[in-house]
Amino acid sequence: MSEALKKKAAALDAADELRSRRALFQLGDRDEDVYLDGNSLGALPVHVPARVADVVQRQWGELRIRSWAESGWWDAPQRVGDRIAPLVGAGPGRVVVGDSTSVNVFKAVVAGARLNPGRTEIVVDATTFPTDGYLAASAARLTGCRIVAVDPGELASALGPATAVVLLNHVDFRTGRLHDLPSLTAAIQSVGALAVWDLCHSAGALPVGLDAHGVDLAVGCTYKYLNGGPGSPAYLYVAERHQRAFDSPLPGWHSHVDPFAMAPEHTPADGVARGRVGTPAILSLLALEAALEVWDGVSIDSVRAKSLALTDFFLECAESHVEGGVSGPDSPVSLVTPLAHSERGSQLALRCAKAPVVMERLIERGVVGDLRRPDVLRFGFTPLYTGFADVERAASTLARVLAEVAEDPTA
**237 classed as catalytic:** no
User: What is the length of the chain?
Assistant: 411
DSSP string, 189-230: HHTT-EEEEE-TTTTTTS---TTTTT--EEEE-SSSTT---T
Partners of 348 in beta bridges: 379
Strand pairing class (95-97; 235-238): antiparallel
In this structure, what is the dihedral angle of CA atoms 125, 126, 131, 137, given to the nearest 10 degrees?
Answer: 90
**381 classed as catalytic:** no
Catalytic residue among 106, 223, 235, 246: 223
CA 353 – CA 118 distance, rounded (Å): 48
Helix (H) / strand (E) element for 304: namely helix 300-321
Q: Output the pLDDT for position 328.
A: 78
3-state secondary structure of 36: coil
Topology of the domain comprising 49-295? Aspartate Aminotransferase; domain 2 (3.40.640)
CA 278 – CA 252 distance, rounded (Å): 5
Q: Output the pLDDT for position 43.
A: 97
**25 classed as catalytic:** no
Catalytic residue among 119, 177, 224, 274: 224
Q: What is the pTM of this model?
A: 0.97
Catalytic residue among 129, 246, 314, 379: 129
Q: pLDDT per position in the chain (411 positions), as tens? A: 689 999 999 999 999 999 999 999 999 766 679 999 999 999 999 999 999 999 999 999 999 999 999 999 999 999 999 999 999 999 999 999 999 999 999 999 999 999 999 999 999 999 999 999 999 999 999 999 999 999 999 999 999 999 999 999 999 999 999 999 999 999 999 999 999 999 999 999 999 999 999 999 999 999 999 999 999 999 999 999 999 999 999 999 999 999 999 999 999 999 999 999 999 999 999 999 999 999 999 999 999 999 999 999 999 999 999 988 887 788 899 999 999 999 999 999 999 999 999 999 999 999 999 999 999 999 999 999 999 999 999 999 999 999 999 988 888
DSSP string, 105-172: HHHHHHHHHHTSTT--EEEEETTS-HHHHHHHHHHHHHHT-EEEEE-GGGHHHH-STTEEEEEEESB-
Assigned CATH for 2-31+297-407: 3.90.1150.10
DSSP string, 55-102: IIIIIIIIIGGGHHHHT-TTTHHHHHHHHHGGGGT--TTSEEE-S-HH
Burial class (CB in 10 A: 0-12, 13-18, 19+), 109: buried
Q: 344 with 178: CB under 8 angstroms?
A: yes
Catalytic residue among 132, 172, 198, 216: 198
Q: 145 with 164: CB under 8 angstroms?
A: yes
Half-sphere exposure of 327 (CA within 13 A, CB side): 9
Half-sphere exposure of 66 (CA within 13 A, CB side): 6
User: Going by C-beta distance under 8 Å and a sequence separation of 6 or more, which residues neighbour residue 215?
Assistant: 181, 185, 195, 197, 237, 239
CA 140 – CA 109 distance, rounded (Å): 9
CA 14 – CA 44 distance, rounded (Å): 24
CA nearest to 41, candidates 271, 370, 373: 370
CA 185 – CA 276 distance, rounded (Å): 25
Domain positions in the chain are 2-31+297-407, 49-295
Q: Starting at the edge strand that comes first in sequence, how are the strands of the sheet with 146-150 ordered?
A: 95-97, 235-238, 217-220, 194-198, 163-169, 121-125, 146-150
Strand pairing class (44-45; 370-372): unpaired
Catalytic residue among 276, 378, 379, 390: 378
